Structure 1
Amino acid sequence: MNLNIDAEKQNTFDAIVVGTGISGGWAAKELTEKGLKTLVLERGRMVKHPDYPTATKDPWQLPYAGKPTQEDLKQQAKQARTGYTISQSTKHWFVNDLENPYTEVNRFDWMRGYHVGGRSIMWGRQSYRLSDLDFEANAKDGIAVDWPLRYKEIEPWYDYVESFIGVSGQVENIPQLPDGKFLPPMELNCVERDLKKSVKDKFGRLVTIGRVAHATAPLPHSPQRGTCQYRNLCSRGCPYGGYFSSNSSTLPAAEKTGLMTLRPNSVVHELIYDEKQGKATGVKVLDAETGEQVEYFAKVIFLCASTFGSAFIMLNSISNRFPNGFGNDSGELGHNIMDHHLSVGARAEVEGYEDQYYFGRRANGFYIPRYRNYDGEKRDYIRGFGYQGSASRQGWADQIKELSLGAALKEAVTTPGKWTVGMGGFGEILPNHANHVVINKEVKDKHGLPTLTFDAILRENELKMRKDMANDAVEMLTAAGFKNVTPYDREIGIGLGIHEMGTARMGKDPKTSVLNKFNQVHACKNVFVTDGSFMASSACHNPSLGYMAFTARAVDHAVNELKKQNI
């Protein structure tokens, strides 16, 4: 008996954080800096900054010219659906689909990285704020549930996280895309600047440089981070700390407090619920290396395991109190899957500008904020979309077939090719109860744990929107005078935007939502969920900045409630 009590004491902390990605890193930083002894659990392997194995390799140092082998594509067939994830320089960041299977009623693209830092190593770093246009949309349109807060409540937390992570951007003063605490913006190139002028003059729309979590100036509070080196090899991991990741930023901050215990290879698969106390007391963990089952205990638990990681843990946590999944009194747990639909837009060739070029490899592009169904305009669908794109000069590779020799060959291979430009849309997907995920007990992963089955599709509103996403891109590129403008609209599944959201949405009413406005489970106040699960609607731009802001705000609330002994 004493041994059990001693073991429980040894495994007891003030707080537990599940996951080390965008939101998990922030939860770890905030909890420890507020004085809580915090256990951080990561299901994957340890990765420490700046140890990213391919970050500084030259192309000739990668096997198979960097291309994936047939065995790579077999093991990572679903991860390869993006068209860019699986290469010799990046494949180690993505899961083995054979070891970590999932099933899909309709095509669903679930991109995952199981390691310390999670997808904060792999993310696209575009960082935008939700606005009241987004927070008010569900209520105005009469769909799903109203957000339980508005922009003014989250604005100071956006300020707080931006100041820490470093977001490069341009102040534009437009209400549908609130400005932030920006580092110096990266620059549009000559073609993009002319596109910006044309789009403004002819359509009244904005083209701005992307708002991106790259340090374009030193960050005194994070001396371990350097500034962006403009290598554009971000997908390999940045040894300079030029872009924000948990590894380079929030986890070192948490470690500095001396209050963080980080355990990799720890697969959390269930919450422990005490029916007498009406609280979650801890988590059940499978050691990925030894197969040992371990239990850890804490006063407060933050689920930051990614939208579907957290949904799995909650759905898999069955008790007398929660027979349909942890906190699932509303029946909404696992439902309302959202993402952003993409792979639609246009590209064009650009004549002229042969005497102009650019310096470095900018890890960013231009951004066109939402303009449809805004300011009184109404289409045959609701909500809207934005565009991300860029212009660049082609390389000299098309010259390798040249038969010229000597000076003529040298001239050919040192002359850049023609300019091209493209823009791709990011469209909002509406919350819909029918888009959902469930536990699949028939298919097990490599640990013998059940897996997930997805059933989610693009619906009428998204399909109507895609027509405008292609046509508007053609219209803007044509109006700018570019040539051979070609639209595209590729068939995709939900998930390819890698912005999954909504499986434990927040709301005012426990009967229709899983979480309250502070990311607390309505039915269990000492459990917080701060990854994409909480989103009540998706807006049409990259959501990770919001996860950070809501996480910082949730920790602040949790610690205050702990002090008041309310949880």
Structure 2
Amino acid sequence: MANLNIKSKKENSYDAIVIGSGISGGWAAKEFCEKGLNTLVLERGREVKHVKDYPTTNMMPWELEHRGGILQSVKEENPVVSRCYAYKEDTQHFFVKDTEHPYVQEKPFDWIRGYQTGGKSLLWARQVQRWSDFDFEGPARDGFAVDWPIRYKDLAPWYSHVEKFVGVSGNKDGKANLPDGEFLPPFELTAGEKYFKEFLKNNYPEREIVVARCAHITGNQDFYAKQGRTLCQNRTLCQRGCPFGGYFSSNSSTLPWAAQTGNLTMHHHAVVHSIIYDDEKGKATGVRVIDAQTKEMKEFYADIIFVNASALNTNLILLNSTSSRFPNGLGNDSGTLGKYVAFHNYRAGISAEYDGLKEYTTEGRRPTSGYFPRFRNLHKQETNFLRGYAAGFSSGRSTHSDYSGIGDELEQSMAKAPEYGPWRMGSHMMGETIPKEESQVSLDPTLKDEWGIPQLKISMDYDDNDEAMIKDYLEQMSEMFEAAGFTNIRTRDDKRAPGLDIHEMGGARMGKDPKTSVLNEWNQVHACPNVYVTDGACMTSTSTQNPSLTYMAFTARAVDHAVKNRG
């Protein structure tokens, strides 16, 4: 029996284990495999192969049973995920079913999840802005959370490393708070967006509209052909899965790249229960996994463990990884694990019309829009709230088609060119929220999921700082819209619960002091340095920029560190 156990352990041993195959887990797999490490990736969901498993990718609207809509009964069965902007008939198979994956909402929180190969990298909005020292120095400057243990210069070369491989369309805008990167040709702003950009330049010179940087291939075709990817076709059907690989996902890029090295092993339906800690060795030695289908418990072993299960699931795994050394969760000497979680505030928006620019219209599609970098509280504190907000900005020419009549009359109506109306302008807020101790996740003491793992209890909400920021965003945007000559200005605060931003961050934050943080400057658990966390759980603060590019850069940097310092 002892020999069998030794054989089993040997068969289940790897150089590195990566928990999760999403946007950061895929990068960990690629980097480890390229460096020659025998790597196991554990994915709790089903296998989704690039192209083959995108069932709706080329469907026409009339080929979808409900023309893209979601049945009311399906919404009632999935009250959380059905609130997500991307949840539609052609994408719902990439989302979890709410009833199968319960969690406890101590306060309302819409937890959006996708359990399959690639995770939510199949569904993301593909916005990739670098963070800057306005972000990494923010907590120290403004007196919240803890100081980041790194600065922009530490991450800059890794941003470049990631951008070159991913393929990022963008323009070098020369803005200190939105650093330039390694860009492919940018998409174009519409005439309406260009008008507003010029208006701001002349009237609000410290504010600017730029084209949003996105993970879409627009050039350097020969390089991306090596990944089996080609140019973005501007179909704007991205969340169905792109058969061209025009946008970046783990499925189209990092995981196939890792697989071709021969060093990758993927295990699907692998629900991670906990990380194994050896008291005698003083380090983590492996991962306990429950087979999602058979409920069988297995153990896998490695010298290096990367936790990339997505921010809240990573917190769950660490909290559930208890031992005599860590009775309150792996690495939780500080008592901060699961705390200081934050998100992005997307509640507010504004729309308007503009009756000028009648000589212009819009034609075709693009997978991005305009972007309004943060301008509040950048160089000094100037408002009654901490930090600031960025904003999306888009415009398009409205059209009207007359399909009245019957028979010949209808045919004649349909043959007429559409009539153009005014330009429609729109913006939505992307606010930074402040990590607080009371914003936290924990393990429910009684409720468990299908696999016997404690359900995650989530408790976070907006605060007075967020409310003041919303008020300021609506006031500032209304003022600029009115001054630009826009009419029929309409503001909104949809009062949504946190979560639909899908940018939850923190809980296992990085920091300089093990007494106030979980991870060090290399994303290692302070008290268990062969465990790394490089997904959203590692974040000390939230910035206003989309975080995915930063997760990928942290991951590549941490893998490099882990391999160079491998015992």
Give the TM-score band, short-chain normalised. Answer: over 0.9
Which of 262, 268, 288 matches 1:264?
268
Deviation at 1:474, TM superposition (A): 1.3
Partners of 1:304 and 1:149 in 2: CA distance: 20
Corresponding letter in the other structure for 1:80 = S
What does residue 154 of structure 1 align with?
155
1:402–1:280 distance in 2 versus 1, CA, 3 Å: farther
Partners of 2:88 and 2:549 in 1: CA distance: 27
Corresponding letter in the other structure for 2:354 = V
1:7–1:436 distance in 2 versus 1, CA, 3 Å: same
The C-alpha deviation readout for 1:279-334, integer Å capped at 9, x for no partner, is 11000011112221110000100000000111110111111101111110011111
Partners of 1:441 and 1:122 in 2: CA distance: 32
Corresponding letter in the other structure for 2:535 = D
What does residue 539 of structure 1 align with?
543
The answer on 1:336 being equivalent to 2:337 is no
Q: Is the 8 A contact 1:66 1:88 kept in 2?
A: yes
What does residue 21 of structure 2 align with?
20
The C-alpha deviation readout for 1:485-519, integer Å capped at 9, x for no partner, is 11111102221210010110000000000000000
Q: Is the 8 A contact 1:79 1:85 kept in 2?
A: no
The 5-angstrom pairing of residues 474-493 of structure 1 reads 474-493=478-497
Coordinate RMSD, CA, aligned: 1.5
Corresponding letter in the other structure for 2:66 = Y
TM-score, normalization: structure 2? 0.96
The C-alpha deviation readout for 1:80-125, integer Å capped at 9, x for no partner, is 123x233211111111010101111211111000000001110011
Deviation at 1:30, TM superposition (A): 0.3
Unaligned runs of 5+ in 1: none
Which of 443, 460, 467 matches 2:447?
443
Partners of 1:545 and 1:36 in 2: CA distance: 24
What does residue 191 of structure 2 align with?
190
What does residue 527 of structure 1 align with?
531
1:400–1:332 distance in 2 versus 1, CA, 3 Å: farther
Which of 185, 207, 210 matches 2:209?
207
Partners of 1:172 and 1:546 in 2: CA distance: 19
1:483–1:24 distance in 2 versus 1, CA, 3 Å: same
> Partner of 2:451: helix, strand, or coil?
coil
Q: Is the 8 A contact 1:49 1:239 kept in 2?
A: yes
Query: Which has the larger displacement, 212-221 or 461-470?
Result: 212-221
Which of 334, 354, 370 matches 1:366?
370
Q: Is the 8 A contact 2:184 2:220 kept in 1?
A: no
Partners of 2:379 and 2:405 in 1: CA distance: 54
Corresponding letter in the other structure for 2:330 = F
Deviation at 1:470, TM superposition (A): 1.1
Q: Is the 8 A contact 2:309 2:535 kept in 1?
A: yes
Corresponding letter in the other structure for 1:66 = G
What does residue 163 of structure 1 align with?
164
Q: Is the 8 A contact 1:507 1:513 kept in 2?
A: yes
Deviation at 1:375, TM superposition (A): 2.5
Deviation at 1:449, TM superposition (A): 2.4
Partners of 1:222 and 1:188 in 2: CA distance: 25
1:445–1:250 distance in 2 versus 1, CA, 3 Å: same
Q: Is the 8 A contact 2:395 2:424 kept in 1?
A: yes
> Partner of 1:230: helix, strand, or coil?
coil
Which of 57, 60, 80 matches 2:59?
57
The C-alpha deviation readout for 1:155-178, integer Å capped at 9, x for no partner, is 100111011101111111111111
Which of 375, 384, 388 matches 1:384?
388
Q: Is the 8 A contact 2:404 2:410 kept in 1?
A: no
The 5-angstrom pairing of residues 313-328 of structure 1 reads 313-328=317-332
Deviation at 1:460, TM superposition (A): 1.3
Q: Is the 8 A contact 1:342 1:425 kept in 2?
A: yes
Percent identity for Structure 1 against Structure 2: 48
Corresponding letter in the other structure for 2:72 = Q
Corresponding letter in the other structure for 2:302 = A
The C-alpha deviation readout for 1:120-141, integer Å capped at 9, x for no partner, is 1100111011111111111111
Deviation at 1:351, TM superposition (A): 1.3
Deviation at 1:220, TM superposition (A): 3.4
Deviation at 1:363, TM superposition (A): 0.8
1:445–1:192 distance in 2 versus 1, CA, 3 Å: same
What does residue 67 of structure 1 align with?
69
Partners of 2:484 and 2:561 in 1: CA distance: 50
Corresponding letter in the other structure for 2:368 = N
Q: Is the 8 A contact 2:510 2:523 kept in 1?
A: yes
Deviation at 1:547, TM superposition (A): 0.2
Corresponding letter in the other structure for 1:220 = D
Following superposition, which runs of at least 4 residues in structure 1 exceed 6 angstroms of deviation?
A: none
> Partner of 2:199: helix, strand, or coil?
helix
Partners of 1:401 and 1:270 in 2: CA distance: 63
1:376–1:263 distance in 2 versus 1, CA, 3 Å: same
Corresponding letter in the other structure for 1:68 = I
What does residue 43 of structure 1 align with?
44
Q: Is the 8 A contact 2:345 2:430 kept in 1?
A: yes
Q: Is the 8 A contact 1:396 1:413 kept in 2?
A: no
1:439–1:6 distance in 2 versus 1, CA, 3 Å: same
Query: Which has the larger displacement, 516-525 or 483-492?
Result: 483-492
What does residue 97 of structure 1 align with?
98
What does residue 435 of structure 2 align with?
431
Deviation at 1:416, TM superposition (A): 4.8
What does residue 176 of structure 2 align with?
175
Q: Is the 8 A contact 1:430 1:537 kept in 2?
A: yes
Which of 234, 239, 244 matches 2:238?
234
1:273–1:287 distance in 2 versus 1, CA, 3 Å: same
Partners of 2:102 and 2:229 in 1: CA distance: 36
> Partner of 1:426: helix, strand, or coil?
strand
Unaligned runs of 5+ in 2: none
What does residue 106 of structure 1 align with?
107
1:505–1:201 distance in 2 versus 1, CA, 3 Å: same
The C-alpha deviation readout for 1:221-256, integer Å capped at 9, x for no partner, is 431011110111111111110101001111011001
TM-score, normalization: structure 1? 0.96
Deviation at 1:412, TM superposition (A): 4.9
Which of 274, 281, 284 matches 1:277?
281
Corresponding letter in the other structure for 1:482 = F
Corresponding letter in the other structure for 1:364 = T
The C-alpha deviation readout for 1:251-290, integer Å capped at 9, x for no partner, is 0110011000011111111000100001110000111122
